[in-house]
Amino acid sequence: MFAGVASAAPPNWTMTVEKLPGTGSPGAPVGYHVVITNNGPSNISALYLTNDNTATPVFLTSLDRPGACNESPAPSGRLFCSFGALNAGQHVAITVGYDTLASASSFPITFEGNTTGSTFTDVKNRSHGDLLL
């Protein structure tokens, strides 16, 4: 028997993030429309979405797969979506909103699509999946 190394090509996927509204101001709500598209040719067996912001969203809806995110009956905890499989040629979309502090000068946020459920808290890099920021 021979031992070998197997590797898979990273998925051919994209993520677009649209800020809603295009510019914000301190104390005003901000929103984001996030779309992840699998451009194929392979399926993604399990897709997750989170971000590096620990605030609880004030608005959250998964447009293509209702119930995939922590959105019901009201958002709870930080953003986490579990979409299941994303076949070649498919996409998933969410809209998420946050309140900002009146004293804040910025509201930085980074969205992360991944294939393992691991999040920004995977500080020991134990994830063996793919990651899209």
Q: What is the pLDDT of residue 129?
A: 54
> Who wins on pLDDT, 32 or 128?
32
> Does domain 13-100 match CATH 2.60.40.1530?
yes
Q: Measure the CA dihedral 57/63/69/74, to 10°.
A: 50
Residue ranges per domain, the chain?
Answer: 13-100
Cβ 80 vs Cβ 68: under 8 Å:
no
Q: Tokens 């959105």 identify what position?
A: 71
With a cut of 50, say whether residue 124 has pLDDT above it: no
List pLDDT tens digits, range 53-83.
Answer: 888 899 999 988 888 998 877 788 889 999 9
Q: How confident is the model at residue 132 (pLDDT cuts 50, 70, 90)?
A: low
Q: What is the pLDDT of residue 6?
A: 47
- Gyration radius of the chain over CA positions: 16
With a cut of 70, say whether residue 5 has pLDDT above it: no
List pLDDT tens digits, range 24-59.
Answer: 778 888 999 999 999 988 888 899 999 998 888 999
Q: What is the pLDDT of residue 114?
A: 87
